[in-house]
Structure 1
Amino acid sequence: MLLRFLWAGLMAGLLAGVPTAAIQYVTTTPLILHAEAYEHADPAGHAALSGGENHLGGQIIPAGFILAHSAAPEAGADANWAPNDGLERTLYTSVATIITTIGYAFMLLAAMFLAGDKISPRTGLLWGLAGFAATGLAPALGLGPELPGAASAGLISRQIWWITTAVLTAGGLWMILRISSALAICIGVVLMAVPHLIGAPHPALLTSAVPSELAANFAASSLVLHAILWVLAGISVGFMWQRGERQADL
């Protein structure tokens, strides 16, 4: 059973992670690349960027899609290691996306197993949608996906709020969808509302070097990509688990 669990989670994560990384490569990546140009350009360069030219500090940005974001080090400063732009950077970020998807697959598989649900592509899809609601949709109501250079509050406060929101939303969905009594539904609604009543942390001054149209496009694309990741992971988990069952019956 343990080997089947590990095999199904790993293969499902790979099955969902590879197309997710490919979609990421052609959707959010160009937006990150464009935002980095605004982030690193001097004020005079912003006008050129707005005119459609991809300049960065007086240099033309190489063509191609870049997935991972890494800030340019200041002159004379010791730079932390980062993958080189181009293929290496794309490879590292794609691998990170696939590993994340494998983690999601194991989470979904464990949740369905502990809940006693029949593991199938249909139940995997439903659990995947719930995972997206808890970790993507609900947190985005307070903290939308951000591009490099966007104004943001402190990292620790944002992480605490995000984790709290995801956990309370997951708990609320469990109360509403699994227990479903009148009291449980009321408790679930309260749990899901608490982080939004408290409010997400935001900077005192909302300034950004990134155009609002670019930021809005990235936020929408990131949410769609996040939903695709969870849905593909859920369906893949159900498919691989059932395949393992059929092989075990042979």
Structure 2
Amino acid sequence: MPLSASPTASDSFSLGTFKRIVLAAVLAGSVAGVALTAVQGMQVVPLILQAEVYEAAAPDAAQAPEAARPHEHAEAQPAAHEHEDDHHHDANAWQPEDGVERTAYTALANISLGVGFALLLIACISLRDRPTTWRSGLLWGLGGYLTFFVAPSLGLPPEVPGTAGAALGDRQLWWAGTAACTAGGLALLSFARGGIRWAGLALLALPHLIGAPQPVVHSSTAPQELARAFVFATAIANAAFWLCLGACAGHFYKKAA
């Protein structure tokens, strides 16, 4: 009769590491999500509300061709830019009311996003198996900011509601490929040894050499000054999010040890 296998030291270590990662990610993601919501409330949301006024005042927006139709944006989701919706919106469809309700749903979305990115960030930190503090966590956060916001923004900058965009699937594919190439390029430059590390430069440049998908006609219902202010405000919000997430990830991962 076979004997039951007893838990080994490596099994308990793996389970302990997993719990440590999850706990640190929940704490770091929650703090960063709340911080992002606060920054958005001060800088990003007012610009979105202004742009929505211009969008609502443009009666021809709903009749625009699909490739050039304005897209609704969520409130500054950091990873990736403002998320866009390629579908027409039913006037009777439910949406949160402006004010407390909208802020609460935004905070919930930001915290969920923060926990997800924190899991990815802390998993990478644990694989490095080096002493981690909030200071070293800042560097990981900076890497996340470059990977998930700065590099994709070079081809697909954040856009206010009412801005024409290329097909959503094409933009999502380019964004994902850019993030993957940027992450790989930064990893090679930071951790590889020998000549192979310089292949990271090629990875960083590859998606931009291919080029981001663009709409047939560039148009926006919002003034250019508002669009430029939105890009600047979104960059600040994402920087605050990622630096806070990195610092908290390093701090809570160390505390959870």
TM-score (norm 1): 0.82
Partner of 1:58: none
Number of residues of Structure 1 aligned to a counterpart in Structure 2: 221
After superposition, what is the alpha-carbon deviation per residue over 1:137-193, rounded to whole angstroms, capped at 9, x for unaligned?
1011100001100121111100000000000010011111110422321x1111111
How large is the RMSD of aligned CA atoms in angstroms?
Answer: 2.4
Contact 1:108 1:124 (C-alpha < 8 Å) held by counterparts: no
Partner of 1:244: 256
C-alpha distance 90-155 of structure 1, shift in aligned 2 (>3 A): same
- Given candidates 105, 117, 121, the residue that maps to 2:130 is 117
- Given candidates 100, 123, 134, the residue that maps to 2:147 is 134
Query: d(CA) in 1 for partners of 2:238 and 2:250?
Result: 19
Partner of 2:97: 84
C-alpha distance 38-180 of structure 1, shift in aligned 2 (>3 A): farther
Query: d(CA) in 2 for partners of 1:161 and 1:11?
Result: 31
Query: d(CA) in 1 for partners of 2:155 and 2:165?
Result: 12
Query: d(CA) in 2 for partners of 1:206 and 1:70?
Result: 17
Displacement of 1:228: 1.1
| 2:107 maps to 1:94 | yes
C-alpha distance 29-19 of structure 1, shift in aligned 2 (>3 A): same
Give the gaps of 5 or more residues in structure 1.
44-65, 246-250
| 2:223 maps to 1:223 | no
Matches within 5 A, 1:48-59: none
| 2:209 maps to 1:193 | no
| 2:54 maps to 1:38 | yes
Please state whether the residue corresponding to 2:256 is helix, strand or coil: helix
Please state whether the residue corresponding to 1:135 is helix, strand or coil: helix
Query: d(CA) in 2 for partners of 1:172 and 1:3?
Result: 30
| 2:23 maps to 1:7 | yes
Contact 2:159 2:230 (C-alpha < 8 Å) held by counterparts: yes
Query: d(CA) in 2 for partners of 1:200 and 1:67?
Result: 22
- Given candidates 194, 215, 219, the residue that maps to 1:207 is 219
Give the gaps of 5 or more residues in structure 2.
1-15, 60-73, 77-83
| 2:183 maps to 1:167 | no
After superposition, what is the alpha-carbon deviation per residue over 1:62-109, rounded to whole angstroms, capped at 9, x for unaligned?
xxxx958999x77xx564332223221121011101111111111110
Query: d(CA) in 1 for partners of 2:124 and 2:33?
Result: 19
Contact 1:8 1:237 (C-alpha < 8 Å) held by counterparts: yes
